[in-house]
Chain A
């Protein structure tokens, strides 16, 4: 690293960054509204089965066998290798009529019936994994997931407002919402299944992205007190520059382990790792551009942070 780094003018391109972010957010929201999410069984209810065949198998064949036997709404795909099949079966309509009573039970027997049907045709199939989620559970999880995100945001808002100043906390939330919306948009556009682990990833991203933002804000607050001759834009720009190498190094180390998880962690954590990778990349970008730019746009000045400054002055005056 060179000793005399030139400052990069981040705030100078603030306008372009804002436009870029706005574009990403609009695309994400549009996709979320018009295409929605590919919600997993965790949220929709239904059955997912992972089967191991003794030899290579065609998903279409499996699907046909099941449809012929009277199962509805079945999708089949390869999972990891040509011998493995992932089945997704929606709650069976013929049993929807009386959900409260036998039907719930019948749906819980579904996986066993499907396995029997398939084993009758191809002996030697083994069941690796089954997930069955009743429709009402799915609904509750959807609700809880939304609430969890909301409460995390509120908790953070309060903490930042207490530690810094109200405008900082708004800036942090803008950056957070930015990251979450774009990550959700990514999942909507790519049609990658959104399940409970992805929700966990989104909440982890909230923590991570905030972590990044707070570090920058901390520096901004400090610099407002030290660099008194500079104007707000210069102070914020210097702060972003000073924390830049840290931001990049931490993102790098986090990305390294996430990529390891993505490549080696197995299918079950694939979506989690992917969501985190997207979140970390977007979060790094947003803590450099979005959070600070929004601070500047809200008109943060050193006067806003005057009070603690005065205290320091008083303390100095009292010293002998």
Chain B
């Protein structure tokens, strides 16, 4: 007799229940929504909520709901067209400096499901619309910049110690310092080595005019510089993406030189490129302590030689026009803790030129405050009288003001910051403002939202059609056993959706193709088993032994066949990019879950149907 122990039934029941719960969010399609969040010191209040409501109703834009949820306002709309219209209206209504208006997909999953951790599947850009950029950091430029910095600091070190030299030049990937004789070379070598401890390899060569000290970056230094340039650019891009007002942007490193930027819901790719391509820099200025900044702001009269800025909280600050150092002289900035005051701090390093200037300034201005201005320049296309014009837009703000405690040069700390978070943010901004190596877009994939929706519709239609056709075929061909296989197939589909939702793996169009393919191939295990049972029946076995033999003999074949497909899926995942990875994941999940449903799942039902009775004929 064919019976299953109770625990197997319980296991299958639990898995099925789990699948149903975690797959169910797919039944609640997400709303097209807009979220409004505050920037800096601003807060989202009831007042802003009312303003949002009137802005929408005055333009006759209907919304499903507008709610204040924690620190954001969420407005839901019935379709993406309304959402886009509303976004434009709301961007006009709220000051861009104070509030970010972002397109979003808001889940409509009921609360009890969410409390179980059930989330809807995460749709890829090809399904929800948006932009994918692959950006490459110009590492040649980054390394050249590093070489220039070394060159400057060599020269400064030699001048400072009054060591005579004939010249310092960059050649290929090395710096050549030419000395008249061996003696001055030895002296110079000592000083030069101090400027970059452990970063360079030195060698001595005979030159035309004298002896040359040749400095080359160590491999580890090159890797470090590249990593720094990449990090710096990621930081910069992250700041700028925030400005674009995108919810759930993805900015991540790919390999050693590339960055992936994914912006769901973005329509205006031209604007996205402009904002991502902006350049930023920093300037250190002396703070004006003689005049009152608030007076200057209210009267509109700025004292001679001064410039009025605003700080991050919107308070006015007066700074001297003269620049102490600029951002391209900063070579590194990192957040940490100051040992003396035990407060969060940011450590900075300057190049040779910057260090010299900083030393001169700070020696004369101990006790005086110094301000850091963050300047961002971007090209914006503006339509004027129907003509598209490129316009340069510059934004400046003071990101930090600190007093000079003692003279310093190449490396110094900004201390007394309120929190580690603030130190972290300041370091990020300083890095972003230090002239980063340029980035280029090397790949772009944009999908409009209407095409995204069409892709979803087509994808789901084809899954359902293929699924139903397979169900019919199996039921006709294998009768009762076919129906059992169909149940397993349905459970398999539910499990794939559940696992994908739980992993929050990105569902892409190739991913849907993977699901479709799995539906076709998942029945294979059952076909193998059933054909074997038929054969055993033909060989004269009784129905019960035939069922048993069928399942047992087909098992190793099924395992072999599926493992080879898994190998292919793994290779796909390892080598593929974005969409291909999505395909590989769904294929792999499908294979694994089909093994479970097609073998254990069907056996349990067959046992339930036939297990307890005597049978002479099988409906197969």
Contacts and interface: CB of A to CB of B under 8 A. Distances in A.
A101 B440 CA distance: 8
Contacts of B243: none
Interface in A237-257: 242-243, 245-246, 249-250, 252-257
Contact of B517 (A131, A147, A204): A204
B564 A249 contact: no
B580 A207 contact: no
A83 B276 CA distance: 32
A50 interface: yes
A268 B561 contact: no
A151 B450 CA distance: 38
Nearest to B566: A207
A218 B269 CA distance: 54
B62 interface: no
Interface string B542-575: 0000000000000011001111110111111011
Given A127-B446, A130-B446, A211-B564, A264 B462 contact: yes
A250 B134 contact: no
Contacts of B576: 148, 200
A206 B388 CA distance: 51
Interface string B447-487: 11011001100110110011101100110010000000000
Interface stretch (B53-61, B222-230, B403-411, B520-528): B520-528
B528 A163 contact: no
Contacts of A145: 575
Contacts of A132: 441, 443-445
Contact of B458 (A101, A208, A210, A265): A265
A310 B512 CA distance: 48
A207 B518 CA distance: 12
A253 B470 contact: yes
Nearest to B521: A254
B440 A105 contact: yes
Interface string B297-332: 000000000000000000000000000000000000
Nearest to A126: B448
Counting chain A CB atoms within 10 Å of each CB, which of B469, B534, B564 scores highest? B564
Contacts of B556: 218
A253 B441 contact: no
A190 interface: no
A209 to B, nearest CB: 10
A250 B523 contact: yes
B92 interface: no
A257 B519 contact: yes
A269 B513 contact: yes
Contacts of A86: none
Contact of A207 (B443, B465, B466, B567): B567
A211 B521 contact: yes
Given A137-B134, A206-B568, A214-B557, A130 B524 contact: no
Given A112-B270, A266-B455, A269-B510, 19 more contacts: A108-B273, A112-B273, A144-B575, A151-B575, A152-B572, A196-B577, A197-B579, A211-B524, A218-B556, A246-B527, A256-B466, A257-B462, A257-B519, A260-B462, A261-B466, A263-B462, A266-B458, A269-B459, A272-B513
14 contacts: A104-B440, A136-B442, A137-B443, A144-B575, A152-B567, A207-B564, A211-B564, A214-B561, A215-B557, A246-B528, A254-B520, A258-B466, A266-B454, A266-B509
Interface of B: 126, 134, 136, 138, 140, 269-270, 273, 277, 388, 440-448, 450-451, 454-455, 458-459, 461-462, 465-467, 469-470, 473-474, 477, 509-510, 512-513, 516-517, 519-521, 523-524, 527-528, 531, 534-535, 538, 556-557, 560-565, 567-572, 574-577, 579-580, 583-584, 587
